[in-house]
Amino acid sequence: MTRLKQLAPALLLACLLPCIGEAYQINLASMTCEQYEKTIMNPPAASVEAGTADAVDVIMWLFGFAVAKSGAHVMYGDALQQFGNGLDSECKIHPTNTLLDSIGAVKLADVNPMDLTTLECTTFEVRNGDMAQSDPQSANTIMMWLFGFSVAKNGGHVLESKDLPSFSAAIAKRCTDHPDSSLFDVLTAVKLKTLR
């Protein structure tokens, strides 16, 4: 499945979100909605031209984070656009709120839920490996959602984009060491040194 088909509900959002710099940090507890709107939703032209990271990946991380903070343990396959639009709307209404507070106010749509507690780690690893070979961008985007979910489940609130490779490697190792575990158990067990 191509990334375009897989993320079809997010295409409008993807077209509206410009790229941001390759290595970045987003502290949800200190970034205000106004800063989010200026640096992520509408960055200066110079940063767009210099950027190489995919803004959809950032929104996916925030979406995974929001789902975990809500207490849910599912991945909503077709709700990215609604989440992105909801967060944008919330931030425009409350520009001085932190991004952490605004994410908590966004209502999550229960669209095509996939329960992470019933998805075996080995099944995920096979699917992820196949996708990484056939469509590495989509595999990366899904990993960003899982990364956001894991950070929230482990009490963090900072997106460190440079930590994605370490996170991916930690997931793969944990799945190898505990093949019968659910993906949910793995995501809550994986801890990064930079977790905040």
Task: Answer whether residue 47 is part of any domain.
Answer: yes
Query: Has residue 172 been placed in a domain?
Result: yes
pLDDT value at position 15? 32
The predicted pLDDT at position 13 comes to 33
Q: How confident is the model at residue 22 (pLDDT cuts 50, 70, 90)?
A: low
Whether 17 maps to a domain, the answer reads yes
Per-residue confidence band for 68, with pLDDT thresholds at 50, 70 and 90: very high
Q: Is residue 119 part of a domain?
A: yes
Residue type present at position 101 = D
Residue 196 lies in a domain: no
Give the mean pLDDT of 110-115.
Answer: 86
Q: Are 129 and 45 in contact (CB under 8 A)?
A: no
Range of the domain at 51: 7-189
Q: What integer pLDDT is reported at residue 41 of this predicted model?
A: 74
Residue 118's pLDDT band (boundaries 50, 70, 90)? very high
Residue 80: pLDDT over 70: yes
pLDDT band at 170 (very low <50, low <70, confident <90, very high): very high
Q: 78: which 2 tokens?
A: 């077709």
6 pLDDT band (50/70/90 cuts)?
very low
Count: domains in the chain: 1
User: Which pLDDT does position 58 carry in this prediction?
Assistant: 83
- What's the pLDDT at 45? 61
Question: Is residue 1 scored above 50 in pLDDT?
Answer: no
Residue 83: pLDDT above 90?
Answer: yes
* pLDDT, average across residues 143-161: 93
> φ and ψ at 75, to 5 degrees?
-105, 120
Residue 35 lies in a domain: yes
In three state form, how does the secondary structure of the chain look?
A: CCHHHHCHHHHHHHHHCCCECCCCEEECCCCEHHHHHHHHHCCCHHHHHHCCECHHHHHHHHHHHHHHHHCCCEEECCCHHHHHHHHHHHHHHCCCCEHHHHHHHCCCCCCCEEECCCCEHHHHHHHHHHHHHHCHHHHHHHHHHHHHHHHHHCCCCEEEHHHHHHHHHHHHHHHHHCCCCEHHHHHHHCCCCCCC
Under 8 Å between Cβ of 67 and 37? no
> Cβ–Cβ contacts within 10 Å for residue 15, how many?
9
Task: For the chain, give the mean pLDDT.
Answer: 82
pLDDT surpasses 70 at 186: yes
Residue 36 lies in a domain: yes
The mean pLDDT of 31-45, rounded to a whole number, is: 82
Half-sphere exposure of 32 (CA within 13 A, CB side): 9
pTM of the model: 0.82
Domain annotation covers residue 194:
no
